[in-house]
Amino acid sequence: MSIQNSIIKHLSQPPNLHYAEKIFSRQFGKEKAKAILDKSCHACNVSGKANSVSHLELLYKHLSTQEGKIGVYGYSLLVMLKSYTNLQVFSQTLSR
């Protein structure tokens, strides 16, 4: 699979918390990764909607306030979440 196809694949489907946890595990280790994601779920009060777009948008906002602390892997997740959110807004605008 080419890099371009890989990017398109990531942007055409919502990233989920399992993927986010994988990225943070590389950066911080499994326990700390789980703690970061659990904290963001509780802070956003949407822990029952783990894979929803609204949860991911809130997770993005939560993480972007800590941008300096999340490292390279976390930053790549931020970019992906932002791209997906922008893609959603763009497609909603087109469908009107």
Q: At what angle do helices 71-95 and 53-64 cross, to 10 degrees?
A: 130
* Residue 34 identity (one-letter amino acid): K
**What total number of domains does the chain contain?**
1
pLDDT of 14-55, one tens digit each? 555 666 667 667 767 778 777 766 665 554 554 454 445 566
Of 81, 12, 7, the C-alpha closest to 40 is: 81
Could you list the residue range(s) of the whole structural domain that residue 81 is in?
3-95
Predicted TM-score (pTM) of the model is 0.37
Distance CA 36, CA 10 (A): 22
